[in-house]
Amino acid sequence: MEFAERVYRAVERIPKGMVATYGQIAELIGCPGGARAVGNALHINPYAPHDDGNDSKHTRTVPCHRVVAADGNVADNFGCGGPAVHRRRLESEGVTFLPGTDRVDLTRHGIIIESHPLEPFLPQNGQILFLGSFPPPKFRWSMDFFYPNWVNDFWRIQGLLHFGDPHHFESVTEAKHFDRARIIDFCNTKGLAFFDTASKVCRLKGNASDEFLEILEPSNVQQMLSVMPYCKTIVTTGGKSTEELGKILGTPDTSPDIGGYMDLECHGRSIRWWRMPSSSRAYPMPLARKAGYYGRIIPE
């Protein structure tokens, strides 16, 4: 695929009300340092929005106005009407600017590219490797460990399954926090390992939704398995992690059904791959029913 088309496809993913920098688009398409080339491709964008707002004239629209300079400035040489038009289009989509400047407020409207904030948790006796997609933004965390979001029910599912109490891993000293020390002790005892299927991502929106998560670097599953000789079970928790693990394992068109498994060879090792429903409350399934699915893994 030619460079310009890769640029246009990346820009098409930027949601209304958000912006990316030229450098971020270059990184998204695997060309770090290519900000100037991205600018050149967008300057001749044949699918640019019409200034009259009637984009129905196009069979395709590439919203090049959603790309700005590294400091948030609109482009002096914006190819579709100049900086005033660039700013007007962004403001019409709800984008705000820093007072007295032509710089977009990137803290509110900028996409985010980030590397995984946690090291893999891989106990030597690890027997089951849980893989999610990627942690939520850190301001949502209730502890420094996997599945940290207070409104994510992963640890309530484990509490219900192993102790008959969904609140077992909730902290008794801090409101709306999980007890990290108790969780780590439990995982070491049970041989449970954790990481995610992505080690570097782009958040197209500043939330925890997988819908707006672009995976830039998949995780090295082979390396994780190499330090856990007893691990023969991998569990993906949700659709995004399942989709990405299929790509990592070379089976992009085949994956287990929810609550089911498939057996395969993974780097010379026989692995049973289970797919579980997302433990996020955004996934429409009662806690007890989710626990019923997760309980199928326990005999492993």
- In sequence order, which residues have a C-beta less than 8 Å from that of residue 30 and are 6 or more positions away? none
Contact 22, 35 (CB under 8 A): yes
Classify 173 as helix, strand or coil. Answer: coil
Q: Please report the sign of the dihedral spanned by the C-alpha atoms of residue 235, residue 241, residue 242, residue 247.
A: negative
Q: What residues pair up with 297 in beta bridges, in sequence order?
A: none
Q: Of these residues, 64, 187, 202, 231, which one is catalytic?
A: 64
Q: Identify the DSSP state of 56.
A: G
Instruction: List the one residue out of 208, 293, 223, 218 whose CA is nearest residue 258.
Output: 293
Tokens 């409350």, residue? 281
Phi, psi at residue 28, to the nearest 5°?
A: -60, -35
Active site residue 64: yes
Instruction: List the one residue out of 237, 259, 263 whose CA is nearest residue 249.
Output: 263
Contact 130, 219 (CB under 8 A): no
Query: Whole-angstrom Cα distance, residue 256 to residue 273?
Result: 7
In the chain, the amino acid numbered 50 is H
- In sequence order, which residues have a C-beta less than 8 Å from that of residue 169 and are 6 or more positions away? 155, 156, 158, 159, 178, 179, 182, 183, 186
Contact 291, 161 (CB under 8 A): yes
- In sequence order, which residues have a C-beta less than 8 Å from that of residue 57 and are 6 or more positions away? 50
Query: Whole-angstrom Cα distance, residue 232 to residue 224?
Result: 12
> Which of the residues are catalytic?
64
